[in-house]
């Protein structure tokens, strides 16, 4: 991308090498067994990737959304699962503590999270409330110097392996009366429930967080009571921009595998790349990938420069994620088609790319919800919510 700084380019090179060395050798087995690459996480800590957007003053790398998206794209091209876990840790948990936490919370929690000693996650979704997140039922009731939490969060990335969770709970009756609590493994009344078995993103453990009269000290509340809505929505925008990087990575890898195959595989005495229908798939895939790449990094750059109002940022983030997610799924499907029978087997990674890419149309806001976010900004709330 033309506006990548020297620092961005260095980062890209470093993460590309890291992905080849630490992620590539293990992903097939981890995908098969639904494992987790803890060693890679620790090494990401050594590289300074885990607190990528946290200020240097607070022990982070002090980098921007463009940098975070570069990391997602480079790691996502090799192992989308570990990258999803990285996103939940670095953007949904660590970044949020860095942006919204008190000095004491940052001092207490960030060193372990940034070094990789502790794994982070974020709890918003619930069994009955996914897209309708503000309907959440998990309640926090104040009792003296602490809160008592009851409820269940579900589909939480890193739930089964995490140590520190940035969790939202209702502290009033109104839909917007939401507060944030940091819940740590080992706290009384907190457990990580069942782990889900998934079609894709299989090396990114997903599970439940269960609060059963869980006592959380007031010092673990982030921000004022009932004031978390804005912080939650703002982070969703950053999540949607940076997660688009994973879609870009998956698509890039799929195009590379399919193109190589089209040059080498012969049918009717010619490379299959000589057939116009194969050329069309590759040309369309490559063009859509480039369009999404421009849109995603443009959104990240505008975010970094503060060039968008809150609603514009939500629309841009939504557009980037909506297009990149659909593009990645379609490009992975096209790669399978180009590889024919081999594409359908585990001999090649394209079937994994397709399984992983599909999550990009569901997590962090489904395609349907993103279309509503975009339409609201274009048509106005009065029309869209009429
Ligand atoms: C692998 C994975 C990892 C995840 N990680 C996390 C995490 O770390 N933290 C976290 O909090 N959550 C996480 N999630 C949850 C994720 O954000 C939700 O799955 C997502 O928001 C959708 O919610 P839902 O699954 O309840 O679907 P629902 O909201 O039940 O939607 C079902 C269908 O109805 C559609 N729909 C809903 N409302 C509307 C509407 N108004 N108009 C049109 N269509 C509509 C949806 O688009 C979808 O197609 C994760 C999910 C997965 C699968």
What per-residue confidence (pLDDT) applies to 85?
Answer: 98
Per-residue pLDDT, averaged over 23-37, amounts to 98
Residue 237 and residue 195 in one domain: no
Q: Is the pLDDT of residue 35 over 90?
A: yes
Confidence of residue 48 (pLDDT cuts 50, 70, 90): very high
Q: Is the pLDDT of residue 246 over 90?
A: yes
71-104 pLDDT tens trace: 999 999 999 999 999 999 999 999 999 999 999 9
Residue nearest to atom 9 of ligand 1 (CA): 156
User: Contact at 8 Å (CB) between 205 and 160?
Assistant: yes
What per-residue confidence (pLDDT) applies to 363?
Answer: 97
Tell me how far apart the alpha carbons of residues 74 and 384 are, in angstroms, rounded to a whole number.
Answer: 37
Q: Is the pLDDT of residue 18 over 90?
A: yes
Alpha-helical segments (H) within the chain? 6-18, 24-33, 38-47, 65-76, 80-87, 95-100, 103-115, 229-264, 276-305, 310-343, 350-358, 367-379, 381-384
Residue 256 and residue 378 in one domain: yes
Average pLDDT over the chain reads 97
Tell me how far apart the alpha carbons of residues 30 and 313 are, in angstroms, rounded to a whole number.
Answer: 36
Q: How many separate domains does the chain show? A: 3
**Burial class of residue 281 (count of CB atoms within 10 Å of its CB; 0-12, 13-18, 19+):** buried
Closest Cα partner for 247 from 130, 367, 346, 338?
Answer: 367
343-368 pLDDT tens trace: 999 999 999 999 999 999 999 999 99
Please identify which of the residues 239, 290, 347, 361 carries the catalytic annotation. 239
- Is 239 one of the annotated active-site residues of the chain? yes
Residue 257 and residue 361 in one domain: yes
Q: Is the pLDDT of residue 1 over 90?
A: no
**Distance from the alpha carbon of residue 127 to the mean position of ligand 1, in angstroms:** 10
Per-residue pLDDT, averaged over 38-49, amounts to 97
163-185 pLDDT tens trace: 999 999 999 999 999 999 999 99
183-227 pLDDT tens trace: 999 999 999 989 999 999 999 999 999 999 999 999 999 999 999
Instruction: Give exposure, 185-206, as e/b (b: 16+ Cβ within 10 Å).
Output: eebeebebeeeeebebbbbbbb
Q: Which of 119, 147, 169 is the last residue of a domain?
A: 119
Confidence of residue 144 (pLDDT cuts 50, 70, 90): very high
Residue nearest to atom 36 of ligand 1 (CA): 368
Q: Give the structural domain span for 49.
A: 6-119
What per-residue confidence (pLDDT) applies to 268?
Answer: 98
What per-residue confidence (pLDDT) applies to 313?
Answer: 96
What per-residue confidence (pLDDT) applies to 12?
Answer: 98
What per-residue confidence (pLDDT) applies to 353?
Answer: 98
Q: Which of 66, 91, 119 is the last residue of a domain?
A: 119
Q: Which of 84, 130, 200, 361 to mutate to test the pocket of ligand 1 (most atoms within 8 A of CB)?
A: 130
What per-residue confidence (pLDDT) applies to 241?
Answer: 98
What per-residue confidence (pLDDT) applies to 181?
Answer: 98
Residue nearest to atom 25 of ligand 1 (CA): 130
Tell me how far apart the alpha carbons of residues 338 and 278 are, in angstroms, rounded to a whole number.
Answer: 7
Q: Show the ligand 1 pocket: residues with CB < 6 angstroms.
A: 88, 121-125, 130-131, 155-157, 198, 201, 206, 359, 362-366, 368-369
CATH number of the domain residue 185 falls in: 2.40.110.10
Three-class SS state of 214: strand
What per-residue confidence (pLDDT) applies to 149?
Answer: 98
**Distance from the alpha carbon of residue 130 to the mean position of ligand 1, in angstroms:** 4
CA distances from 252 to 75, 264, 276, 289 (A): 11, 19, 21, 7
**Distance from the alpha carbon of residue 365 to the mean position of ligand 1, in angstroms:** 6
Vertex 18: Cα angle to 17 and 23 (nearest 5): 115
In a domain, 1, yes or no: no
Q: For a pLDDT cut of 90, what percent of the chain falls above it? A: 99
User: Contact at 8 Å (CB) between 53 and 98?
Assistant: yes
What per-residue confidence (pLDDT) applies to 24?
Answer: 98
- End-to-end CA distance of the chain, in Å? 41
Please identify which residue in the block is written with the tokens 């000693």: 117
Contacting residues for 323 by C-beta, under 8 A, at least 6 apart: 291, 292, 295
Confidence of residue 38 (pLDDT cuts 50, 70, 90): very high
Tell me how far apart the alpha carbons of residues 284 and 163 are, in angstroms, rounded to a whole number.
Answer: 43
Strands 120-123, 164-170: parallel, antiparallel or unpaired by DSSP? parallel
Residue 141 and residue 19 in one domain: no
Per-residue pLDDT, averaged over 310-318, amounts to 96
Residue 247 and residue 169 in one domain: no
In a domain, 168, yes or no: yes
User: Contact at 8 Å (CB) between 255 and 273?
Assistant: no
Three-class SS state of 42: helix
Three-class SS state of 209: strand
Three-class SS state of 156: strand
Tell me how far apart the alpha carbons of residues 31 and 35 are, in angstroms, rounded to a whole number.
Answer: 7
Q: Which of 204, 222, 240 is the last residue of a domain?
A: 222
Residue 172 and residue 305 in one domain: no
Size of the chain, expressed as the number of residues it contains = 386
What per-residue confidence (pLDDT) applies to 304?
Answer: 97
Residue 374 and residue 236 in one domain: yes
CATH number of the domain residue 94 falls in: 1.10.540.10
Residue 210 and residue 271 in one domain: no
Residue nearest to atom 43 of ligand 1 (CA): 368
Closest Cα partner for 73 from 234, 290, 279?
Answer: 290
């Amino acid at each position: 991308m033309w506006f990548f700084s020297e620092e961005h380019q260095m980062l890209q090179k470093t993460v590309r090498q890291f992905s080849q060395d630490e992620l590539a050798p293990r992903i097939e087995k981890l995908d098969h067994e639904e494992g987790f690459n803890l060693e890679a996480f620790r090494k990401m800590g050594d590289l300074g990737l885990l607190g990528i957007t946290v200020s240097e003053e607070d022990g982070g790398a002090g980098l921007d959304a463009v940098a975070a998206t570069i990391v997602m794209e480079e790691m996502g091209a090799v192992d989308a699962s570990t990258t999803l876990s990285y996103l939940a840790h670095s953007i949904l948990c660590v970044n949020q503590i860095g942006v919204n936490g008190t000095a004491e919370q940052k001092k207490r929690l960030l060193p372990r999270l940034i070094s990789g000693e502790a794994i982070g996650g974020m709890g918003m979704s619930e069994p009955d409330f996914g897209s309708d997140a503000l309907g959440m039922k998990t309640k926090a009731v104040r009792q003296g110097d602490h809160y008592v939490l009851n409820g269940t969060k579900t589909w939480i990335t890193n739930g089964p392996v995490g140590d520190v969770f940035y969790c939202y709970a209702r502290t009033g009756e109104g839909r917007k009366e939401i507060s944030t609590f940091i819940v740590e493994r080992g706290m009384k009344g907190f457990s990580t429930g069942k782990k889900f078995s998934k079609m894709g993103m299989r090396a990114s453990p997903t599970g439940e967080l269960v609060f059963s009269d869980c006592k959380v000290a007031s010092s673990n509340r982030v921000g004022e009571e009932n004031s978390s809505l804005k912080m939650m929505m703002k982070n969703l925008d950053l999540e949607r921009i940076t997660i688009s990087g994973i879609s870009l990575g998956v698509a890039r890898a799929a195009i590379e595998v399919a193109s190589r195959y089209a040059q080498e595989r012969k049918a009717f005495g010619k490379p299959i790349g000589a057939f116009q229908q194969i050329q069309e798939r590759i040309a369309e895939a490559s063009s859509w990938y480039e369009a999404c790449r421009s849109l995603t990094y443009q959104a990240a750059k505008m975010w970094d420069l503060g060039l968008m109002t809150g609603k514009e940022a939500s629309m841009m983030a939504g557009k980037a994620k909506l297009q990149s997610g659909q593009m990645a799924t379609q490009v992975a499907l096209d790669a399978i088609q180009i590889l024919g029978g081999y594409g359908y087997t585990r001999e090649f990674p394209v079937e994994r790319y397709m399984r992983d890419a599909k999550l990009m149309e569901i997590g962090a806001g489904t395609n349907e919800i993103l279309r509503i976010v975009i339409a609201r900004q274009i048509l106005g709330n009065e029309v869209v919510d009429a």
